[in-house]
Amino acid sequence: MLDNADLGKLIIRLTLGGLMLFHGISKLINGIGFIEGQLASHGIPAFFAYGVYIGEVIAPLMVLLGYQTRIGAIIIVFNMLVAIALVHSHQLLTLGGNGGWALELQGFFLFIALALVFLGPGKYKLKN
């Protein structure tokens, strides 16, 4: 019999990890020039932009596979806090064109990753 709580955790992991991984793949294909520019505009060395590969490729894979899920999720939380601070801070209290919060996507990634930090991976995961 399937455990509903563990199945729910698996669905959350697959959704967060899968959707975040698309952003990482895009950066692998198209580069991180935009992020380097954002960092430089805030006086932060551009080489820190390579950290996005950890936050948007490595961490999502950890979450997807259920390997060190809490660590992967906290990396995604940090990644999203940096993204919001560097690029989206002016949108924190604004509505988007569709009537929702302008930062719905960023908020989704941030808060679902935070939930996984507390929930853990569930039993459907790689053994570690």
> Which range marks the domain in which residue 44 is found?
4-119
Distance, CA of 6 to CA of 121 (rounded, Å): 8
pLDDT tens digits, 13-67: 999 999 999 999 999 999 999 999 999 999 999 999 999 999 999 999 999 999 9
| 13 within domain boundaries | yes
What the block records as the tokens of 32 is 């991180």
- Three-state SS annotation for 31-64: CCHHHHHHHHHCCCCHHHHHHHHHHHHHHHHHHH
| 127 within domain boundaries | no
| 125 within domain boundaries | no
| 124 within domain boundaries | no
| 23 within domain boundaries | yes
| 84 within domain boundaries | yes
With beta carbons less than 8 A apart as the criterion, state whether 110 and 116 touch.
Answer: no
What's the rounded mean pLDDT across residues 82-111?
88
Q: Considering its fold, how many domains does the chain have in total?
A: 1
Which region holds residue 120: left if phi is over 0, alpha if psi is between -120 and 50, else beta?
left
| Kind plus residue range of the DSSP H or E element containing 17 | helix 4-30
| 107 within domain boundaries | yes
pTM of the model: 0.92
| 109 within domain boundaries | yes
Residue 92 pLDDT: 82
